Amino acid sequence: MIRARINRRKIVKRAWRWPKLGINWRAMLLPPALALALAVLLPLGREALDHPVGALVVEGPFQRVTAVQVQAAAAEGLQGGFLSLDLGELRDRVAALDWVDSVRVNRVWPDVVRVRITEHQAAASWGETGLLNIRGELFTTHARHPYAELPRLSGPTGSEQDVARLYLAVRGRLADAQLALDSLSMDARGAVEVVLGGGQRIKLGRHDVDARLQRFFAVVAPALAGEIERVEYVDLRYTNGFAIGWEAEVEPALAQFTESRNRG
């Protein structure tokens, strides 16, 4: 007889339970608690450290601007605390001074504010009392003293950069031709005129100014070498050629030119 052994397991039903979640409540709650503490303590700490400014240090070349002027301009901007001080406002106050080109402002712990300025470099006078810097920017319209050593530029409001560009284009070439520049002007119509150091007027008109300047340096200036002092004006307002006005009635071979009725 074959006996079969049957393995019977007893099945026990267990009640269902919620699974245990491994949540670290301390780790979850610590960051918000720290953030809250920082949010409360930082303003308190900042307020405690925001003491009055103890010293103002002013640096610069001080050729046209004085340290006293900078200090006076910055004074009202130093009313706040060391940390709450508005550096941008302080910078704007100092930058508004004549001759101040750029300003750098920074804090130096624990209570020092440092102001460093650079000054404009005047390249030409503008109109009666204005001055242009080396970038052709009009940085003051009421210069206190005349600057006779500077070339005189003038033109309608808003033409400063165009006139300055022309000046920068001709000054080197005039020096190469051993000619001095007295003034360069643009009238309300846009017509340009250059006056040389000897009083000779170079009329360039409104149109093709660059091409006419090229004609002057390539043709007129070499042809007038040795005769320039006798010239009253050179009129380049022709499509092809130029006209010369002489101070006295002379008839040099140079008086021949090509004339066009189409003038600008």
pLDDT tens per residue, range 78-121: 887 888 899 999 999 999 998 999 999 999 999 999 999 999 99
Q: pTM of the predicted model, to two decimals? A: 0.67
162 in Cβ contact with 155 (< 8 Å): yes
In the predicted model, what is the mean pLDDT of the chain? 83
* pLDDT digit string, tens, across residues 24-50: 656 666 666 566 655 554 554 455 677
The CATH 3.10.20.310 portion of the chain extends over 55-119
Mean pLDDT of 44-58: 77
Q: How far apart are CA 135 and CA 115, in angstroms?
A: 24
* pLDDT digit string, tens, across residues 161-202: 999 999 988 989 999 999 999 999 999 999 999 999 999 999
56 in Cβ contact with 73 (< 8 Å): no
Q: Outline where DSSP puts E strands in 99-179.
A: 100-108, 112-119, 122-126, 130-133, 138-140, 152-154
Does the domain at residues 55-119 carry the CATH identifier 1.50.10.10? no
Q: Which CATH number fits domain 122-255: 3.30.360.10, 3.30.1490.20, 3.40.50.11690, 3.10.20.30?
A: 3.40.50.11690
Is residue 131 scored above 70 in pLDDT?
yes
- Residue (of 263, 164, 179, 190) closest to 221 by Cα position: 179
Question: According to the model, what pLDDT value does residue 108 have?
Answer: 94
Structure confidence at residue 9 as a pLDDT band (50, 70, 90):
low
The CATH 3.40.50.11690 portion of the chain extends over 122-255
Mean pLDDT of 201-209: 95
| Tokens encoding 213 | 């300047």
Rounded to the nearest 5°, which phi and psi values hold at 110?
-100, -15
Is residue 260 scored above 50 in pLDDT?
no
Q: How far apart are CA 43 and CA 40, in angstroms?
A: 6
Q: What percent of the chain has pLDDT over 70?
A: 75
Is residue 234 scored above 90 in pLDDT?
yes
Alpha helices (runs of H) in the chain, residue ranges in sequence order: 25-49, 67-75, 87-95, 160-176, 209-215, 221-223
- Residue (of 241, 247, 245, 246) closest to 259 by Cα position: 241
Q: Which residues fall within 8 angstroms of residue 123, CB to CB, at 6 or more apart?
A: 132, 133, 134, 136, 150, 164, 167
